[in-house]
Structure 1
């Protein structure tokens, strides 16, 4: 391998037939090699696209042991091409191998030979050279860009909350515990308490970050480490933040549909806009639908996966389930003024799949203490959180949205492990 400068003058997407005769320096990896007589046709790909390189025997002599997927630097001139798949091609004056790919490779990054998802995850970096996989993560990038753009337009401020915490933030048991310099600590399952506190001064906040749940779930929609999109907003109630969520989803679909046409084509899934406004059904209406199907549920029963699949028959698209029984919701959720057995809460569903949960929050510390006791939680363990409520806590509401689940809906993919780089689930801790 020869030591060479690695600078390049253009990305592949920047070159075109109008640049005929211009010298360019490209960098990328070898996707294919075909020798025909005294000429070798090399297919070069970088992150932006693919082009054809023409190599004479004299040029090939310097790299006669080149392998597919090796990284190369090409210097040459743009010329016309007879190849129907390319607008132009590069006749190489010089080619240098920067990094040789050692064969056999663990997976075929071109996707010609299908690999099981576990094998692909074990070689995730190489899997990114598969254009379908790369397109998924380019779309993920655009989804995140869209979310942040919309939040900023709605006057939300981005925050970053701790992921190592000293107590169970929502009183749940599904937490990863760890030793923190001799003290008991946990990995955060939610930014809930921190984001509520931030409404005191910042009013509207959002966070997009990894969180952790110690659930031994083996499904295509559960992860032990997942990306949560969270908001909290002062002077809003649950109907207000539902509107924010619906607007966010609709605008994200629109943004990705318009800005990721190439990626949609590669994946083979054209993104279609969901119908708005999203339908709202109450928990009681959901029970009625289920009991008409002989579900035999009573008020206060939770809705299981099997129940939500029945509801999906009537509501296959996006919809909200609102006004859940207060006993099914966390201690910080507010009860309805006209019926304290119900809560000002909602879940956003896509068919059977829960994407988001949220609601109006209690901002009266005495009511929170009562609710904590009702749920067999010790108010003393939440004293640091509750002190913020004595500093003038405004009425507020919020929600959390699972990014990976939303991506599976946008992309028409069933398994969340396809839309996260290095999934963590009960069976997978590496790479």
Structure 2
């Protein structure tokens, strides 16, 4: 904090100008009011006494303002306060301006000191403490920046899909069966019956393709997965898309390509300050995001990096290495991994075709999108033929009766369709370089956390 010019003692009550209705000024607006009297309202972010001069930093929704005065009865940090004073240019103050206080009022005093010093919080130190006291630590500038970016990301998602003729829908979050065969579900008691929290709106958004042809949803989904990693949540915000009358999965990937481009444009326009604060860069989205089949991807990371991939999918290290390859060779932070084997995709994923047009029972038209070393999207073309769908359900050893509410619609002329889902928190974390996805949600839920 900087040494100001001497200021007159502050009054303990609002001045006549405030009483006459001096409008509230936000901290970001101070440059427009140099030499004028303003009234700020916000939280006491930091305070310091220096040789009879008092410094306080006020935080409001738009940023920080350094205020200087004397004789102030300052409350505990995070109290809600009001400051009135004259705006003066000061090159070392936040934003280049400070307020010389002439009146100060406590709006609502904190009764307890914050458990951590908000201005000094660091995501890499005591993460559990920061999450345990999330009710107050979420006020931190970095925390707020991450949530602001996510809000704009979601708004851009909605806006772009609206321009492409999509309709927003709302689907049940209490369901009788899982969208992906019943695995990883949270059971609940529902008036004497067993029900579950929805792990995906997948089945419903497919049904709604028969209504609006192009639909999307922004809503929480629930996964009862026993993960305790920096990349998983048990409740997260899913950005779901489904569209009908497609040729194949290429139409779906092309839509997501356009959508991501629009999201990044909005983030550049509205979140430059947040990215600067977090030292992050908004990526360029290629006009045509690179594609590679899963088998070719596994071969590439094995031959180029000596990393052998087991199982049906890419492991986290293989995702990181594949992303590194495309960043280095094509300058792309994004890569689509396509042609997943049937065993690695849900029962409703459409089989791929051979060159002669026959179905390939071993491969699907499913894809993932990797961004900076992590999967942010799973998608593909869905089965739209009723007989093919019933065969798939049987081959996956699922109970057809438990899926009747879903399969019924495919008796009535469903068009070829496909879609994808983006995890909002995971995308936010990777955009901002946040190492733990829990910091990309205001109040995260993981296997150990039900509060706050």
Q: TM-score, normalised by structure 2?
A: 0.85
For residue 15 of structure 1, the aligned residue among 26, 30, 39 is 30
Deviates more, 1:336-345 or 1:203-212: 336-345
Task: Say whether the 8 Å CA contact 1:41–1:54 is kept in structure 2.
Answer: yes
2:119 is the alignment partner of 1:110: yes
Q: 1:28: how far off?
A: 0.8
Q: 1:52: how far off?
A: 3.2
Secondary structure of the corresponding residue to residue 243 of structure 2: strand
What's the RMSD between the two structures over aligned residues? 2.8
Q: 1:429: how far off?
A: 1.4
- What is residue 130 of structure 1 aligned with on the other side? 140
Seen in structure 2, the aligned counterparts of structure 1 residues 100 and 315 have a Cα distance that, compared at 3 Å, is same
Seen in structure 2, the aligned counterparts of structure 1 residues 128 and 296 have a Cα distance that, compared at 3 Å, is closer
Question: Mind listing any 5+ residue stretches in structure 1 that lack a counterpart?
Answer: none
- What is residue 84 of structure 1 aligned with on the other side? 92
For residue 188 of structure 2, the aligned residue among 178, 197, 214 is 178
- What is residue 47 of structure 1 aligned with on the other side? 61
5 Å matches for 1:266-277?
Answer: 266-277=277-288
2:210 is the alignment partner of 1:194: no
Render the CA deviation track for 1:70-111: whole Å, top value 9, x for unaligned. Answer: 21122x342435563254443444322122224442111001
2:360 is the alignment partner of 1:340: yes
For residue 250 of structure 2, the aligned residue among 224, 235, 239 is 239
For residue 154 of structure 1, the aligned residue among 160, 164, 168 is 164
- What is residue 321 of structure 1 aligned with on the other side? 337
Secondary structure of the corresponding residue to residue 429 of structure 1: coil
Runs (4+) of structure 1 exceeding 4 A deviation are: 1-8, 36-39, 112-115, 293-298
Task: Say whether the 8 Å CA contact 2:290–2:335 is kept in structure 1.
Answer: yes
Seen in structure 2, the aligned counterparts of structure 1 residues 322 and 92 have a Cα distance that, compared at 3 Å, is same
Render the CA deviation track for 1:406-431: whole Å, top value 9, x for unaligned. Answer: 11221122211111111111111111
Task: Say whether the 8 Å CA contact 1:20–1:77 is kept in structure 2.
Answer: no
Task: Say whether the 8 Å CA contact 2:41–2:80 is kept in structure 1.
Answer: yes
For residue 68 of structure 1, the aligned residue among 64, 70, 77 is 77
Q: 1:255: how far off?
A: 2.2
Task: Say whether the 8 Å CA contact 1:17–1:78 is kept in structure 2.
Answer: no
Seen in structure 2, the aligned counterparts of structure 1 residues 255 and 19 have a Cα distance that, compared at 3 Å, is same
For residue 214 of structure 1, the aligned residue among 213, 218, 224 is 224
CA distance in 1, matches of 2:292, 2:35: 62
